[in-house]
Amino acid sequence: MIARNFLAARRFAQAGVGCLLCLACGSSSPSGSGAAGTGNGGAIAGAGAGGAGGPGGTGGAAGAAGPGGAPGAGSSGSSATSGAGGAGAGPVGVAGSSGSAGSSPSAAGSGGSSGSAASAGAGGAAAGPVVPVQVAGSSTYRFSYGDTIFEIDAQTGARVSKLSLAGADMIVTTAADATTWGSVFWTAPRTGTWVPEWPPPDAIDKNPYTAAISGAHLVTTGMADATLGVSMVKDYAADAASGWITINYTIKSTKAQKAAPWEVSRVPRGGITFFPLGSSVTKGPLTISQLDGIVWFDDATKSVMDPGDGSKLIADGKSGWEAYALGGNLFLKRFVDQPASAQAPGEGEICIYPGKSWIEFEVQGPYTQIAAGGSLPWKVEWRLVKIPSTVTVAVGSATLVSFVQQQLAL
């Protein structure tokens, strides 16, 4: 998509319509209406110039960004007033500044300045794919849009190390050990396949991954674990327009085996976890409620602990989502729903495990036979959003479930 936009922008420049700062002439009469401003939709640089006011008229509004950088027409200026320049706008760039007003009713206002890259949309609002950047002097890669920051630590298993909204982090970022923090990706089940069964294999969990920015994606590749016979690829992307983060996981196997993809996200304690129930749920050490087809776990007391046997809630979900509400924010996961028959032995499509200072907010994909040299792809989407004050955040809340449904439709 980025390459296509770049080529479109280059063609417009070659055709003589790619100027980023221009004046549009209107009527020659001092009392005449200003001509419509025009602006080219931005491509890579996301720059659209504002339309200038014609003589005797206000500046035309910025040209709307057309698909692939096509020019869009601005509105006409009104008559007999100073010509105010339109604001620049681009689909993948920070909006340009407003143009200056004309010095007199017969003078044209100047066009807005061109937008810059890395954010998008008119008025500075972000829109479209977000290009990740490497944080200077670190192994961390960041997607940033609006009030959301999403980071991946390539040096530590390419795990998600931050997911925050307006400074409130929904991922546990530190721990006393190198394992129990962030969001990670494993194979299930661990019983009978991991050697030993704990901790997770270093190669997939915490060793360095090779990271490369490819367009608007961060693609990370891990080394193979010799005993488990798998390596992992994690492809991260974020879209500012929809607010959804997409994670495409791939399990690559060096031997024939059966495995399920398994995402484990450590979230801070104290929130409410809920999801639609499929065929069954085993509550483990948790106290849960089942209301109108939804399973709820309220961790307000932060008192439930693993009794020492590693037990957890295991469930077959329904409709392909699970959610965690904490501090006025909603962390939502969306995935392809799997039947109970496709779940790994002793595991579930949805799992919740209470740790000392975190809750493991888990989802698993289908238990699948993988050929030697073969691979198993799997996708999970995330969305972090502020919960409106009109929504009741409580066990059994119909407005909270309705709010989730609204987000899933985006």
pLDDT tens track for 357-376: 999 999 999 999 999 999 99
* Residues with Cβ within 8 Å of residue 71, at least 6 apart in sequence: 12, 17, 38, 39, 40, 41, 63
Choice among 115-119, 245-249, 353-357 with the minimum mean pLDDT:
115-119
Contact 78/31 with Cβ under 8 angstroms? Answer: no
The predicted-structure confidence for 207-236, as pLDDT tens digits, reads as follows 999 999 999 999 999 999 999 999 999 999
**Helix, strand, or coil (residue 91):** coil
CA–CA gap between residue 403 and residue 330 (Å, rounded): 10
- Cα 251 to Cα 41, 134, 228, 378: the distances in Å are 39, 25, 11, 8
318 closest CA partner among 341, 344, 339, 346: 339
**CA-to-CA dists, residue 116 to 60, 126, 172, 240, angstroms:** 21, 12, 34, 16
Name the pLDDT band for 63 (thresholds 50, 70, 90).
very low
Element (H, E) at 221: strand 217-221
Least confident interval from 93-97, 190-194, 203-207 = 93-97
Looking at residue 176, its pLDDT comes to 83
Determine contact, residues 390/403, Cβ cutoff 8 Å: no
User: Are the C-beta atoms of 377 and 336 separated by less than 8 Å?
Assistant: no
Side chain identity at residue 45, one-letter code: A
* Cβ neighbours of residue 303 closer than 8 Å, sequence gap 6 or more: none
Nearest alpha carbon to residue 19 among 77, 96, 82, 78: 96
Any residues with CB less than 8 A from the CB of 14 and at least 6 apart, and which? none
Ordered by where they begin, the domains of the chain are 1-72+80-127 (no CATH), 133-408 (2.70.98.10)
What is the DSSP code string of 249-301?
Answer: EEEEESS-EEEEEEEEEEEESS-EEEEEEEEEEE-TT--EEEETTEEEEE-TT
Tens digits of per-residue pLDDT, 15-37? Answer: 333 333 333 333 333 333 333 33
